[in-house]
Amino acid sequence: MSLPEGLPMFPGTASATGQGATLGVMGGGQLGRMFVHAAQRLGYFTAVLDPDPQSPAGQVSHHHIQTGYSDAAGLAQLATLCGAVTTEFENVPADALKALAARIPVAPGAAAVAIAQDRVQEKSHFTATADEAGSQPGALAGVTCAPYAVIETTAQLQAVPAQLLPGILKTARMGYDGKGQVRVKDAAALAAAWADLKQVPCVLEKMLPLKAECSVIVARGWDGQMVSFAPQFNVHVDGILAVTAAYAGNMPPALAERASAATRAIAEHVGYVGVLCVEFFLIDDGSADGALVVNEMAPRPHNSGHYTIDACDVSQFDLQVHAMAGLPLPQPRQHSPAIMLNLLGDVWFDAQGRARTPDWQAVLALPGAHLHLYGKTEARRGRKMGHLNITAADVATVKATARRAAQILGLPGLEAL
């Protein structure tokens, strides 16, 4: 596959506007902010399209187009400014990306983003990937999908097989960080939950004996070249990622290899360009290591990959820039064991609910502590305000330091490591 015409292969290349090459991002959140930082380090100009005048990415970008994601004038301005555009979250309208792609390269493309926006399409994509690989239906590279049923009509609700219960009912669209999900134990609870969700299209997944969670991040270029990070071990609290552990031995080697192979197959099947994260469940199937179930994909850098900024010679955001701009994709090298702690707005409140300033002095006195705050002016419970990366020369030290940081800030999740 050749590079799209007009792609800004190198920073500083003159664009149609007479400026140095400009890279754009749809979405102004923290992922966009970290993309902007990575692009600017390579000498690119940046443009952000986001309606929020205080968006974290807009605060640090050369250009901030303050319009809605489907605004025709805003999209035209972005296309005029930029040599290529990416997205920082999966719920940017796929039609907006399609409109941009008619004028400039867009990575990932609208088709890939549309798959991640809809759990029904996502499950179909996973199954099609498996069939293409010649494996058993619903399996890819030794990794299975959870048994599921699509519920879009009353007839489909009534036809749900009994063996799928108890299960988890998930809205097909707009669900993230545990939102749009309801646990149901029987047919009556399922019907009530679907009614509570306003009978929007849903997917019912069979509840499986969960041991742990992990994720894999890959980057794929326009020419099909692909590189990846080793799988990350993740801990979620109340549906939101709390801790990521990235070091040798964080999960059984055979399972890590299967997860990596499955992620590459998923990216290859859709002709993906950019950074892709695929999340997996580790299931207790009676074997020593357990089995993997593919959960969902995110067409962008991922919270679980934030450790790469401080623990690797190339971060996930560096690879996002390289992939969309047609630059070489170096295989990342992790130089330090790492643990990432997610910092939600809860950290800014004490046990009695009173506002406080976290003890950053104590945190930053810890060896190997790397604090990343996102520039959000208002702390709210459940809101992602930043993250703390801990690096060390060995696993024992990184665990001990992370536990100390968690104690200082009152963070959960470390007990799982």
- Summarize pLDDT for 54-82 with one digit per residue, the tens: 999 999 999 999 999 999 999 999 999 99
Tell me the one-letter amino acid at 167: G
Buried-state track 97-136, b at ≥16 Cβ within 10 A, e below 16: bebbbeebbbbbbbbbbbbbbbbbebbebbbebbeebebe
Give 349's DSSP letter: B
Q: What percent of the chain has pLDDT over 70?
A: 93
pLDDT at 134 over 80: no
Residue 246's H or E segment, with its range, is: strand 240-246
Q: Report, as an integer, the average pLDDT of 277-284.
A: 95
Q: What was the pLDDT predicted at 181? A: 87
pLDDT grade, residue 219 (50/70/90)? very high
The values of phi and psi at residue 91, to 5°, are -95, 15
What is the rounded distance in angstroms from the CA atom of residue 327 to the CA atom of residue 273?
Answer: 12
Mean pLDDT of the residues in the chain: 91
The domain 210-416 belongs to what CATH superfamily? ATP-grasp fold, B domain (3.30.470.20)
Domain coordinates of the chain in residue numbers?
22-106, 147-206, 210-416
186: three-class secondary structure by DSSP: coil
Q: Could you tell me which of 346, 361, 355 has the C-alpha nearest to residue 405? A: 361
Q: What is the mean pLDDT of residues 127-132?
A: 71
**Whole-prediction pTM value?**
0.93
Structure token digits, residue 350? 């004490």
Q: Which two tokens stand for residue 389?
A: 């990366």
User: Residue 137's pLDDT is what?
Assistant: 57
State the pLDDT at residue 7. Answer: 76
pLDDT score of 307: 98
End-to-end CA distance of the chain: 42
**Mean pLDDT within 24-47:** 96
Residue 141 backbone dihedrals phi, psi, to 5 degrees: 50, 40
pLDDT number for residue 113? 94
Mean pLDDT is lowest, of 8-12, 213-217, 287-291, 293-297, for 8-12
Q: d(Cα 53, Cα 64) in Å, to the nearest integer?
A: 8
Q: Answer yes or no: is pLDDT of 127 > 90.
A: no
Residue 68 confidence (pLDDT): 97
pLDDT at 132: 67
Is the pLDDT confidence value at 93 over 80?
yes
pLDDT of residue 18: 40
Q: Comparing 260 with 141, which gets the higher pLDDT?
A: 260
User: How many CB atoms lie under 10 A from the CB of residue 355?
Assistant: 8
The radius of gyration of the chain's CA atoms, rounded to the nearest angstrom, is: 21
> Could you write out the DSSP letters of every residue in 281-338?
EEE--SSSS-EEEEEEEESS--GGGTTHHHHBSS-HHHHHHHHHHT---PPP-B-S-E
Higher pLDDT, 270 or 363: 363
Does the pLDDT at position 141 exceed 90? Answer: no
Q: What is the pLDDT of residues 166-202, one digit of tens each?
A: 999 999 987 665 677 899 999 999 999 999 999 999 9
Give pLDDT, residue 20: 62
Q: Is the pLDDT of residue 133 over 90?
A: no
Of the pLDDT bands very low, low, confident and very high (cuts 50, 70, 90), residue 17 is very low
Euclidean distance between CA atoms 346 and 380, whole angstroms:
7
What is the model's pLDDT at position 19? 45
The CATH architecture assigned to 147-206 reads 2-Layer Sandwich (3.30)
Query: Is there a common fold for 147-206 and 210-416?
Result: no
Q: Domain 22-106 - what CATH class? A: alpha beta
**CA dist list (Å): 137 to 127, 128, 148, 202, 287:** 6, 8, 13, 21, 22
CA distance 20 to 213: 42
Cα–Cα nearest to 226, from 234, 237, 217, 235: 217
- Calculate mean pLDDT across residues 250-254: 93
Residue 26 confidence (pLDDT) above 80: yes
- Closest alpha carbon to 300 in 54, 140, 116, 169: 116
